[in-house]
Structure 1
Amino acid sequence: MSSPTTTDETGIWATIREAPPAVKALLVGVFVNKLGWFLQVFLVLFLTTSKGFTDVQAGTALGVYGGGTVVGLIVGGSLSDKLGPRMAVMISMFGMAGFVLAIAYVPNYATVLVVVALAGAVGQFYRPASAALLTELTPKNRQVMIFAVYRLAMNLGTTAAPLIGAALVAVSWNLLFIGEALAALAYAAVAVVALPKRAKAPASSEVSEVSDVSVAEAAPSTGGYLAVLRDYKYVLFLLCMFINAAIYMQYLAVLPLHMKSEGLSTWWFSAVVALNGFIVITCELLVTKVVQHWPARMVAMIGFVLLGGGLAFYALPGGIAIFVIGTLLWTLAEIIGGPTMFAYPGMAAPKPLLGRYVGSAHAMFGLGSALGPFLGVWIWNNAGTRVWLWCGLAGAVGVVLAYFGMQPTAETEEPVVDITPASEPLPSESS
């Protein structure tokens, strides 16, 4: 048999084909759920056209939703550790279905804000749980690739969702919310049927007979998020996630303003965004097939160089060619670094805190995504195109943080000897 670290055995189809049934179900469930990702896309339009609220009120509601998602990612990490990924996904999807339906019928603006915040929070519980389960059930040498497949499932779903949503809105706004609720319930059904239950904790007599390592792995999570914060290297990685998201979001916040100021039509901005989406969907798995064998720290550093450099490239004169080249550079950063950055929390986490490590990483990315646009537009209004140079500087800071925060350890870099699923139940499986 060939070495387990060969490209063939960590390739795209081998990773998908030999993944445990629960992982395949998880990928399908996430894809179906994202097909119904309507709320964030259509919330402002719904509140202004159907409910009659002002633009400011609708924008505030969208901001409240974003804040709720950050809180939900943190809570979701704790739920995953305490109750298990399967239960966290079920709570998230059943709760999301109820809150989404409620938005269509709540009577006043204050209630809308409350329900939107709850929908944003509860609807994100599943993300740390899903990522934690992918980590648990996938051999280490295939984790970067499985996260690339996971990202593809999400990207395909979110790309199709606005088109499906527009078709539903043409019939009825209520149908839009019913559609998202059904998508959430479909993922909940996948969790009920296909995801493994958490194993019962061993009795005290059984614990005394196992090794110290086994006891540590079987013990319930302790320390909460304070234990995560005591991992100083990982805190540096969390700052990497924040910076990554904050500067990445400028393609949605500042880029359209810059292109408009250059006299370019909205069509050109749409074409640039579509170029990014096309490359990510078609090329990310192929690139991951190569970079998954590189040290995680090196991949992250290359990603920050390309991300910061690509955005800084926008500061140059040259018209549409500059925007296309800059977009190609930071898109390359996304397809090189994205899967590794989102797989790394599972590599760095101790098992009892896996959900919290994953949840904190997703939360920092969400916080960067929420604050980045405000910071970017503020700098644009005060400094013009120099905002892109600040993005380049932030990318350089990310390189330094990745170097010191993602130092290789025996836990994260050791080779995997056996790529076949273990015959014994995993910590999250039923006994």
Structure 2
Amino acid sequence: MSEDLDREPASAEQPGAGLGAIATWRQTSVTSKALLFGVFVNRLGAFLQIFLVLFMTHRGFTAGQAGFALGIYGAGHVLGSFVGGWLTDRLSARAATLISMLGSAALIVSILYIDVYWVILLAILTVSTVSQLNRPAAQAMLAELTKPGQLVMTMAMYRLAINLGTAVTPIVGVALVSVSYSLLFWAEAFAAVLYSAIAWKFLPGKAAPDAAADAAKAAEPKQGYRAVLADWRYDFYLAAVFLVTIVYCQYIAVLPLAIVDQGLSLWWYSLVVSANAVVVAVCEVPATKYVQKWPLRITAIAGFGLVAVGYGVYAIALIPVLLILGTIIWTASEIIGAPTTFAYPGMVAPPHLRGRYSGAMLSVFGLGNAVGPAVGVWVWSHIGQAFWLWAGAVAILSAVCARIGMRRPDEQPATASAAPEAAT
């Protein structure tokens, strides 16, 4: 029965399946459009992570202290995603967003007036955690408001809002820093306040009690994140996200070191990184019109497995032609897999656990980005060019985990098979 389900597209018989970006946008609710605009505004003002090291050294701290502060900021992202998922389910996406934006706006400005290093670290951890609370809220709200067949395309537009904001942020940040770091921090606080105003105006409060959702919740033997972990297939999906994130981020950690080690100019590194950003921004949304109709097993294998192929090309030799070819291949993996990967928690989560399912995914995603660079650089320093073969092997393992873990949205969760009477 499971194999029969897998042969059908994930979006089959779902309303709005297969629509392009423009048609999906026209059918998108005003609330979702406002949320996407708020996400863009928030990313447009996300200066702290980019300029944190420069700010710390400007204040007189050492490069090592600045680097440790950046690591603390990454740890806050992991913690914030976890707490944000709980807060979204417990209160509402609107409440989680307001707490996140108003709290981070107040906290980020305080960093300007702190001189003691360990207090600055505490402030950075708090700011990072609070600012991340809105991410699970945004994904859960989009899943709630979007027709099932349009969720992958909506997530592609959500990622486009993030990527566009991220692309412009460094340019705006440099202009602000040229005036003063104080202006930079106040600008990020203003962007957070603006997003909170959008959330206050357009996002709904906690929905009225749903009898069916309440009955499903009462029937579950486990609640909260324990219920998420009890879904063993979703655990495989989380493992896939964690592993592929560790591998994927090596293009910013190991690749520049490997290029220099091979005697190539860093110009080639800047070329492939810029090409990746441009191709993803231009191609991801149009490609999603077709990818959203694929079976999840195909998306999983392509989205996760092509990272292994791209890095495997690097393993042959880091010469310009193979550098470009490998980059095109792993960029294709992001275009194919990322919208579905971000949409998947909303596809399979019970309504009362959407925040936690999204929070769990974002937590492992953040954890992979946090530990990946350190692990990658350590391994590369010991085995050199063979690193890319090991990276490809881990990416293949992530594809296997994704294939096991990603089920059709209309299938029962893995835990339901153990208690069919309760499911009925």
The corresponding residue for 1:36 is: 45
Q: Confirm or deny: 8 A CA contact 2:259 2:318 kept in the other structure.
A: no
CA distance in 2 between counterparts of 1:332 and 1:323 reads 14
1:46 aligns with 2:55: yes
Q: Which of residues 55, 68, 73 in structure 2 aligns to 1:60?
A: 68
Instruction: Please list the CA deviations of residues 160-215 of structure 1 after superposition, one character each: whole Å capped at 9, or x if unmatched.
Output: 0000000000001100000100111111111000111112437xxxx6xxxxx354
Task: Tell me the C-alpha RMSD between the 2 structures.
Answer: 1.9
C-alpha displacement of 1:11: 1.2
Of 12, 20, 40, the residue aligned with 2:29 is 20
TM-fit CA distance, 1:219? 6.7
Q: Which residue of 1 aligns with 2:314?
A: 314
Shift in CA distance, 105/219, structure 1 to aligned 2, threshold 3 Å: farther
Q: Does the CA-based 8 Å contact 1:77-1:129 persist in structure 2?
A: yes
Counterpart-to-counterpart distance in 1, 2:219 and 2:281:
38
SS in 1 for 2:43: helix
Are the structure 2 counterparts of residues 4 and 230 from structure 1 closer, same or farther at C-alpha, using a change threshold of 3 Å?
A: closer
Counterpart in the other structure of 1:427: none
Judging changes above 3 Å, is the alpha-carbon distance between structure 1 residues 7 and 93 closer, same or farther for their aligned structure 2 residues?
closer
Q: Which letter does structure 1 place at the counterpart of 2:114?
A: V
CA shift for structure 1 position 290: 0.3
Cα offset, 1:268, TM superposition: 1.8
- Check whether the contact 1:219–1:352 (CA below 8 A) recurs between aligned residues: no
1:244 and 2:235 are equivalent in the alignment: no
Number of the residue aligned with 2:136: 128
Which is richer in helix?
2
2:265 aligned residue = 265
Distance across 2 between alignment mates of 1:386 and 1:341: 29
- Which residue is 1:198 aligned to? 206
- Percentage of matched positions with identical amino acids: 46
Shift of 1:407: 2.9
Could you tell me how far apart the structure 2 residues matched to 1:321 and 1:195 are? 48
Which residue of the partner structure matches residue 419 of structure 2? none
Offset of residue 130 of structure 1: 0.1
The verdict on how the C-alpha distance between 1:386 and 1:35 changes in structure 2, with shifts beyond 3 A counting, is same
Q: Cα gap change, 1:338/1:103 in structure 2, threshold over 3 Å: closer, same or farther?
A: same
Instruction: Give a deviation string over 1:51-100, Cα, whole Å, max 9, x none.
Output: 10000100000000100110000000000000010100110001111111
SS in 2 for 1:385: helix
Q: 1:318 & 1:378 partners in 2: Cα distance?
A: 19
**Pairing 1:143-162 to 2, within 5 Å after superposition:** 143-162=151-170
Cα gap change, 1:9 to 1:251, in 2 (>3 Å):
closer
Per-residue CA deviation, residues 268-298 of structure 1 (Å, 9 max, x unaligned), is 2111100000000000011101000112232
Q: Which runs of no fewer than 5 residues in structure 2 stay unpaired?
A: 1-11, 414-424
Shift of 1:7: 8.2
One-letter code of the match for 1:116? I
TM-score (norm 2): 0.91
Within 5 Å, give how 1:199-348 maps onto structure 2. Answer: 199-201=207-209, 213=212, 215-216=214-215, 223-317=223-317, 319-348=319-348
1:119 deviates by 0.8
Distance 2:361 2:132 in 1: 13
For 1:380 and 1:141, how far apart are their aligned partners in 2?
42
How much has 1:315 moved relative to structure 2?
Answer: 1.2
CA gap of 1:30–1:357, structure 2 versus 1, over 3 A, is same
- In the alignment, structure 1 segments of 5+ residues that lack a partner are 208-212, 414-431
Aligned partners of 2:262 and 2:318 also within 8 Å? no
Asked if 1 retains the 8 angstrom alpha-carbon contact of 2:140 and 2:354, the reply is yes
| Partner residue in 1 for 2:82 | 74
Amino acid aligned to 2:20: G
What is the distance in 2 between the residues matched to 1:412 and 1:269? 45
Q: Which residue of 2 is the match for residue 426 of structure 1?
A: none
The correspondence for 1:178, drawn from 183, 186, 190, is: 186
Which of the numbers 103, 124, 135 marks the counterpart of 1:116?
124
